[in-house]
Amino acid sequence: MSGASLFRRAFLRVAAAGVITAAYGRGFALAGDAVADLMTANYLATRVRSSQGLAAFKLVPPAGTERIRRVRSLSLLEANGVDSRRLTWFEGPPDVKGMGTLTVENAAGDDDIWVYLPAVRQTRRVQAANKGEAFLGTDFSYGDILGYRVAEWTHREIGRETVDGRETIIIESVAASPEIAARARHQRRAQWIEPASGIGYKVETFDSQGRKLKTFVMSDVRRVQDDPPRFQAMKAVAHNLVTNHRTEIVFDDFQAGLALSPDDFSVRALERGPR
Amino acid sequence: MIRWVSAGAALAAAAVFASAALGADVSLRGAGWSASRVGPESEATATAALWLRERLALTPSLDLGGEAYVVARAPGQRGDHATFELREAYAAYFGEHFDLTVGRQLIVWGRADRIKPTDLASSRDFTSLVTEDDDQKRGVGAVKLGVPVGDVVLMAYAMPEFRAHAVAPLPPLPGLSVRRASPHGAVADHAVRLERTGGRIDWSLTYFGGHDKMPMLSATPVSLAQGVIEERFPKLRMFGGDIAASVGDYGLRAELAHVVFDDLAACAAPVCGGRTSVVVGVDRQFPDDLYVNLQAVLAAGGTERAPPSLLPELFVRNGVLSNRLTASEGGLSWSVIRQWNNQTFRAEFSGVSVFGRSGTLMQARLAYKLTDDIRLTLGGDLYRGKRAGVLGARRDESGVFLEIRHGY
């Protein structure tokens, strides 16, 4: 990419953020383009160039014993600034310890996913799950973690609210087609987005009958990369209102800006385990 | 009873020591079985097992790994006994230009689901009472060298250790005993594999030269005069390959192996000579944690032989164990897995049905996680078919089990 092109992209991004912030400050409802820009900012807000993290997934059933999955991960953003390569290893509990996944996102099609199964000492290609499928057995779906493509949803502003001391714009997103709704496993969602960062602090999803399916609350959001600014919620809680099951993801450690290369995201690396 | 309780206490003590002092992963497993797999007169039994697994990163490029288990079987008509198995004990070096693994290791080949015709390197203990088929696999002493060449990895294997499949013993034949005729000591089994895992399509090509792990029993006038049935493990060569890809919502898998015996005279089964096995399948992940896999299984080739006049039952047994009863056969395999409550409860129904006289195996597993560490599994295997069939011959092994497991 040429220097002029890079400058143009950076200028447009800054300009778009400025328009959104200015409109918000004046109390205007965002126009269509501005809403799309805000959703694009939201889509990109957590896409750091590279990262490593250590997180605990706490699964809380309505009754019974909590379960905790400990996960170590690496990520690297592709040159297109949208797709990532991700390595994830389970460090516990015992029945999944050593298991790992390699995901190569592909915005233009299905992701490529491989799973390393220590019980059989083998790596297996698995089908890219629908965006609506549960992410590693949690109440988050793959779409909730990786984001939904902006162009596949129709967005509009439906209000403004303060969440956890932050001024947010509430954006309603409706699936552009029944197929997209079916894959996402929800018809509509509302997101409380902070304009300056693009971070969604709260999300609610609904089915086609308007029934609320899940709520998500993000907290302890930290700026983990400066140029361009990127953020990470250190805690995220999903509540499935249908099953009354909850999942809490808490990062014990998260670092961005590591010197990683595509070669670090191979099946060979997956099978070696975290170094 | 006292000995049984003592064994349990010893296992628990060993588990605590291994976990606390060595940092190893520990799995304690207790199970009751309605039928064992040690012989035709199968009987109910109970087992207690301790599994240990460790992978220690000594440096960023050097690992030590291993896994072992001991299983104690409850007293029964065939007596009680304990089995120890060192599945793996290896050192692995991960370099910039090559990887090297030395020691006993599990070698697994093939991208088909469960039925893997190319997977000839490691042996299995078919008599072991385990709830998951993959736990039957046993490591083999080997040196594995992996060299990345662009997008592919070239792997070379030397496997000097020979470990035969463990199968149910031959029913006693008056005045006769079984003696291994070959191989003895170190062997020169070897393999070369070219593998690509990545991009849109995964594939591999494999050549294996070595001994069949399945015993072939034969009786000659000379051996019978000595009161001996000879157990041989013929040398064979395998040329194989596999492929896996995603097409839309579906996964496609295929695996092919062509096996030829170096010495046809060493083959004492109803069908000998070159034989090609193919598995072609499709799988899909449906909503709500439902996974379905369907595969077609085909095997063809070789020439049929008339049974010998001396102990023809050995001839049939060899064909059953080596799946060399008919010149061609086909069948289907399936696997349906559903999970509920955030993967707390899992149900699996799988099986294989081979048309003709080979028979059918159906397996069901229901697993419930009581906690992160404790899992309860209820399962059963049902074999059907004619006694002279590959699967029907194992009808006495049909049964159910209940296992409680702590750890992995």
Q: What is the mean pLDDT of chain B?
A: 90
The answer, for A122 touching chain B at a CB cutoff of 8 Å, is: yes
Tens digits of residue pLDDT in B257-304? 999 998 888 888 999 889 999 999 999 988 888 999 999 999 999 888
Residue B149's DSSP bridge partners are B152
Place of tokens 């890809």: B245
Radius of gyration, alpha carbons of chain B: 22
Q: Any residues with CB less than 8 A from the CB of A12 and at least 6 apart, and which?
A: none
B152 is written with which tokens? 């592919």
Q: What percent of chain B has pLDDT over 70?
A: 92
Give the pLDDT of residue B288: 83
CA-to-CA distance for A15 and A246, rounded, in angstroms? 39
Confidence of residue B39 (pLDDT cuts 50, 70, 90): low
Collect the ranges in chain A with pLDDT lower than 70: 1-29, 32, 129-130
**What type of residue is B242?**
D
Q: Which chain A residues are Cβ-neighbours of B148 within 8 angstroms? A: 268
Nearest to A268 among B148, B202, B343 (CB): B148
The answer, for B250 touching chain A at a CB cutoff of 8 Å, is: yes
**Residues A93, B373: C-beta atoms closer than 8 Å:** yes
Stretch 120-179 of chain B: residues touching chain A, C-beta under 8 Å: 132, 134-135, 137, 146, 148, 153
Nearest chain A CA: its distance from B35 CA (Å): 25
Assembly ipTM:
0.87
Better-predicted residue by pLDDT, B354 or B248: B354
Q: Assess whether pLDDT exceeds 80 at residue B18.
A: no
CA-to-CA distance for B21 and B10, rounded, in angstroms? 16
**Residues A125, B60: C-beta atoms closer than 8 Å:** no
Give the pLDDT of residue B142: 98
**B162: closest CA among B231, B116, B93?**
B231
The residue count of chain B comes to 408
CA distances from B336 to B45, B285, B286, B351 (A): 29, 10, 11, 9
Structure letter (DSSP) for residue A152: G
Tell me if A59 sits within 8 A of A245, measured CB to CB.
yes
**Residues B287, A67: C-beta atoms closer than 8 Å:** no
Nearest chain A CA: its distance from B277 CA (Å): 21
Give the pLDDT of residue B8: 61
Across B39-43, B113-117, B238-242, B245-249, least confident range: B39-43
User: What value does the mean pLDDT take over residues B10-22?
Assistant: 64
Give the pLDDT of residue A48: 95
Give the pLDDT of residue B335: 97
CA-to-CA distance for A58 and A117, rounded, in angstroms? 22
- Measured N-to-C along each axis, helices A32-44 and A3-26 cross at an angle, to the nearest 10 degrees, of 120
**What type of residue is B319?**
G
Tell me if B358 sits within 8 A of B329, measured CB to CB.
yes
Place of tokens 């996680």: B369
Find the CATH number of the domain harbouring B266. 2.40.160.10
Tell me if A90 sits within 8 A of A69, measured CB to CB.
yes
Give the pLDDT of residue B255: 98
Q: Give the number of other CB atoms < 10 A from CB of residue A161.
A: 12
Stretch 214-233 of chain B: residues touching chain A, C-beta under 8 Å: none
**Hey, of A66, A106, A125, A214, which one would you mutate to test binding to chain B, going by the most B CBs within 10 A of its CB?**
A125
CA distances from B144 to A272, B64, B102, B165, B359 (A): 15, 14, 6, 21, 37
CA-to-CA distance for B185 and B170, rounded, in angstroms? 23
Stretch 19-38 of chain B: residues touching chain A, C-beta under 8 Å: 25-27
Q: Which chain B residues are Cβ-neighbours of A112 within 8 angstroms? A: 198-200, 246
Split into its structural domains, chain B has a count of: 1
CA-to-CA distance for A44 and A225, rounded, in angstroms? 12
Q: Assess whether pLDDT exceeds 80 at residue B6.
A: no
Torsion of Cα atoms, A222 then A227 then A230 then A234, to 10°: -30
Q: Which domain holds residue B159?
A: 2-407
Tell me if B112 sits within 8 A of B242, measured CB to CB.
yes
Tell me if B8 sits within 8 A of B31, measured CB to CB.
no
Q: Assess whether pLDDT exceeds 90 at residue B213.
A: yes
Confidence of residue B150 (pLDDT cuts 50, 70, 90): confident
Tell me if B254 sits within 8 A of B278, measured CB to CB.
yes
**Hey, of A85, A103, A113, A127, which one would you mutate to test binding to chain B, going by the most B CBs within 10 A of its CB?**
A127
CA-to-CA distance for B141 and B158, rounded, in angstroms? 9
Q: Which chain B residues are Cβ-neighbours of A238 within 8 angstroms? A: none
**Phi first, then psi: what are they for B334, rounded to 5°?**
-145, 155
Q: Assess whether pLDDT exceeds 80 at residue B38.
A: no
Give the pLDDT of residue A10: 44
Pairing status of strand B328-340 against strand B290-300 = antiparallel
**Residues B342, A61: C-beta atoms closer than 8 Å:** yes
CA-to-CA distance for B129 and B324, rounded, in angstroms? 25
What is the sign, positive or negative, of the torsion defined by CA atoms of A245, A250, A255, A256? Answer: positive
**B382: closest CA among B355, B406, B363?**
B363
CA-to-CA distance for A229 and A231, rounded, in angstroms? 7
CA-to-CA distance for A67 and B340, rounded, in angstroms? 15
Highest mean pLDDT, choosing among B168-182, B274-288, B379-393: B274-288
**Superfamily covering domain A3-272:** Lipoprotein localisation LolA/LolB/LppX (2.50.20.10)
